[in-house]
Structure 1
Amino acid sequence: METPAIPMPNDAREQQILGRLMAIRDQLLLLKMDRTKYIRSQDVMVYYEQLVEQVKLLNEVRKGAHPGENRLDKVLESCFQLISLFFMTIGRTTDVPAAYALTSTVKRLLDHLTEAGLFSPKDLDSLSDTLGRLDGILKNGNAQHSPYLVELLSKREELCKKMLAKLREKLEELDKPLQTVYERLISIMRSMSLANTKKKFATSEVQKLQAKLKEIDESRVDGKFVDEEGNVLRGSDQVSTLLARCLRWSDIVLERKGQIPEAFRTIYKILTGVRNDLEKLSITQAWSLRETDLYDFQRELDKIDESRVDGNWVDDEGKPAELYVQRTLLYLIRRSYGYIYYLMNSSEPVSEALLPVYNQLQTLKRCLVEVKNSGGVSSVRELYPYSMKLNSIDNMRVDGKFMVGNDIPEGQGSVSELLAECFDLSYELRVAAEELEDGTANS
């Protein structure tokens, strides 16, 4: 996150604050790497309070004026990013600090969508829902958290909303039938880019996607998208331009077959590794993700993304990457940020200490719902395994609390509520089974 190109602060007081912030960041990194024990709320709050104290001092030094970005700003950003991910890890997902990392990722995604000019209504709907949730977090957390942090996040959220509105305007320039075609083209483009970055290039997969593009091309009349009456649809030129772009990309992908030039192979290898790791986490995140792990992925991606010159990467001789390389690397970066966004949004309001219990209950609930939807059980005996598991989890509580040592981890309400739901489902199934058994006995 920091590079030698970013200057040190000139002010002696800022230099002192920088030293203290670097110490906080180093402690947070050590805490993040320690896998021998779960992360406790009290550990995180100590560093959060220290961080807020340094922010107060910095505001007093700067008195509203900003001398231009220096090393201190970058270290402060790293500290807030780490603290934010720690708040997610301890289950305090609705606290203001937890919103910092998510707003950073939303802003990064919007930057990329704006730059590429390629986005679907689903992309925008998801980001809009997330911003709405963040809005609620900021409004409810004003009194409890640093005014500096609340103000910073409010400004960033407002900027994201404006960017989102501009993207929506672009979609509204298309008639409804063309919005569907446009979304289909975006989906095909992304599928081709995915096929292009697989370990083993599948020619047939890309050829099938190219055939779909040609099918869309053939649906045009004299190069225009028209309605049933033959009227040219609003946005026909924009969608035709995108179609031409997709067809050209399909030809390039089939010609290159996933081969990246030597000069950019290192970046490509790093990005495919990050993408693949995040993809695995997105499948197993309930059991294997510690949100603070996302910091390293983000740092790697930010570094590569920000190394671009005029939107493109350059080789050792300063030559820009050709179109094929540029699009391939941008796809991998954007896909990776998308996974980070998904993983942050999926963060449960439960401390990692309680996640094993919480995940077991979620699995139990899914099983019980499945049993109910498939007609229930024919005898009470069939429910014994579920009842035994529920009772064993319930017996773990001490005075109604799930304890870990002497600690009461965050997320008690969420776990207890899920346990109650499982007991209710089990009871409903038991009552239905008893009625069935009584009916059979009476007949």
Structure 2
Amino acid sequence: MPKDARERQILDKLVLIRDELLLLKRDRTKYIRTQDVMVHYDQLVEQVMHLNEIRKGEHKGENRLDKVLESCFQLISLFFMTIGRTTEAPAAYALTSTIKRLLDHLTESRLFSAKDLNSIADTLGKLDGILKNTNSEHSPYLVELLANREELCKKMLVDLRKQLDELEEPLQAVYERLISILRSMSLANTKAKFSTTEVQKLRANLQEIDESRVNGKFVDKEGRELRGSDVVSDLLQRCLLWSDIVLERKGVIPEAFKSTYDTLIGIRNELEKLSLTQAWSLRETDLYDFQRELDKIDEARVDGNWLDQDGKPAELYVQRTLLYLIRRSYGYIYYLMISSEPVSEALLPIYNQLQTLKRCLIEVKNSGGVSSVRELYPYSMKLNSIDNMRVDGKFMVGDDIPEGQGSVSELLAECFDLNYELRLAAEELENGGSDSPASTTAQTTTT
């Protein structure tokens, strides 16, 4: 607990803000409104200002207040995503937390691919743009905190890239393949029904790579040892050892760690489902509970490993299996965050319908269009019904104007344009050629 009485007062108010945010998160009877989120955000910023005045830039160690403050910012960040304000500084907080956690694990394991780093680099680039364009309505404390986090993540990313750059180009493809095989084995190891055949096939791929070496080295066509051969050979041996262990254990976890394993399997499976149906079923604030549970398990490690009730560390098989599930789950959370649409959950049903319509129209166009205008009637009727939902050009929910109006209207316009192009082409086809009035109209429109 904070020793300063003033900090304890702030802590009490932060606990109240956090509890109200949790209640708002759990309420499924109505969608989350922007004004509800902003009230709590303003309250949070006010407490941060008071805290800064008390500490005056000096911080003598972390206490309970810092933990609760972090929870509040994490929740507010996910709420900003939920209401569609994904391009504002508060929305970046939860994402930077997840990126930092992913980079910590990649650094610890030294097992990552160029694709992993490229994705994170792209996301950090977008966050950089958000922070540079942020306006004065957001807390300077938050903006500074995010900038420092982003800078730390960039430095970690540079260090990880250096490890890949040590590999000569031909070996980078081999390294990527080994990482892919290793992850595939770990996935097979955590399936509900263990498949020996699946793991044996993956091991055969490893043996094929092993046989491509010359005297235990990776060499080029001239027989010259490639730079980074030892690093890739070491990874190959780790993969072969892991395949032996997995084939021996067949997915059976000791009773001492079964509870933790079952929890992680449940989280991984739930997040996997959400990644497949997120457009229709995800409320970003739901990720808070997954994150908290994962953080709790991850931070329970001692010197990188878990201990049983007697204080004995988990064996290698258990440690790697649990770490795989944690990292996989963080990966899903990261994917779900960067996939968050800049639209309020109130408008998501309309937005998702338009996304589906757009995909259908593009598919129709790419497959040669339609033979008659009549075939477009279902699309036209659906588009018109959505367009008719607008009041003075806005999609309303009661008396509210939810966030994301521009994104939905833009998507609706794209669908209308696609539908119009297909109709013109169908009319031209029906009228029998380029001399038809429809063709002339199409040419005039294009010009």
* Selected match of 1:410 from 400, 403, 407: 403
**2:251 partner letter:** G
* Selected match of 1:317 from 307, 310, 315: 310
**1:22 partner letter:** V
Q: Secondary structure at the match of 2:410?
A: helix
| Alignment partners' CA distance in 2, 1:383 and 1:145 | 47
8 Å contact kept, 1:88–1:98: yes
* Selected match of 2:390 from 386, 397, 400: 397
8 Å contact kept, 1:9–1:70: yes
**1:198 partner letter:** K
Number of residue pairs aligned between Structure 1 and Structure 2:
436
Q: Secondary structure at the match of 1:16?
A: helix
Per-residue deviation at 1:142?
A: 4.4
8 Å contact kept, 1:112–1:334: yes
Deviates more, 1:222-231 or 1:133-142: 133-142
**2:205 partner letter:** K
| Alignment partners' CA distance in 2, 1:150 and 1:395 | 40
Per-residue deviation at 1:201?
A: 0.2
| Alignment partner, residue 125 of structure 2 | 132
The gaps in structure 1 that reach 5 residues or longer are 1-7
Give yes or no for the alignment of 1:19 onto 2:12. Answer: yes
Deviates more, 1:431-440 or 1:304-313: 431-440
Q: Per-residue displacement from partner, 1:391-418 (whole Å, max 9, x unpaired)?
A: 0000000000000000000000000000
1:220-369 equivalences under 5 Å are: 220-369=213-362
| Alignment partners' CA distance in 1, 2:401 and 2:345 | 12
Give yes or no for the alignment of 1:419 onto 2:402. Answer: no
| Alignment partners' CA distance in 2, 1:180 and 1:103 | 29
| Alignment partners' CA distance in 1, 2:299 and 2:28 | 31
| Alignment partners' CA distance in 1, 2:40 and 2:138 | 14
Query: TM-score normalized by structure 2?
Result: 0.97
| Alignment partner, residue 73 of structure 1 | 66
Q: Per-residue displacement from partner, 1:285-308 (whole Å, max 9, x unpaired)?
A: 000000000000000000000000
* Selected match of 1:212 from 181, 200, 205: 205
The gaps in structure 2 that reach 5 residues or longer are 437-447
| Alignment partners' CA distance in 1, 2:135 and 2:391 | 34
| Alignment partner, residue 373 of structure 1 | 366
Query: TM-score normalized by structure 1?
Result: 0.98
**2:97 partner letter:** S
Per-residue deviation at 1:143?
A: 2.3
Q: Per-residue displacement from partner, 1:241-261 (whole Å, max 9, x unpaired)?
A: 000000000000000000000
| Alignment partners' CA distance in 1, 2:5 and 2:434 | 88
Per-residue deviation at 1:442?
A: 8.7
Q: Secondary structure at the match of 1:125?
A: helix
| Alignment partners' CA distance in 1, 2:67 and 2:279 | 31
**2:284 partner letter:** E
| Alignment partner, residue 121 of structure 1 | 114
Counting aligned pairs with the same residue, the percent is 82
| Alignment partners' CA distance in 2, 1:233 and 1:381 | 63
Q: Closer, same or farther in 2 for the Cα pair 1:290/1:399, shift >3 Å?
A: same
| Alignment partner, residue 4 of structure 1 | none
| Alignment partner, residue 163 of structure 2 | 170
Runs of 4+ in 1 over 6 A off after TM superposition: 440-443
| Alignment partners' CA distance in 1, 2:404 and 2:361 | 23
**2:67 partner letter:** K
8 Å contact kept, 2:428–2:434: no
8 Å contact kept, 1:142–1:150: no
| Alignment partners' CA distance in 2, 1:337 and 1:37 | 28
Q: Secondary structure at the match of 1:66?
A: coil
| Alignment partners' CA distance in 2, 1:156 and 1:442 | 63
Per-residue deviation at 1:144?
A: 2.6
| Alignment partners' CA distance in 2, 1:305 and 1:159 | 20
Q: Secondary structure at the match of 1:237?
A: helix
| Alignment partners' CA distance in 2, 1:202 and 1:86 | 41
**1:338 partner letter:** G
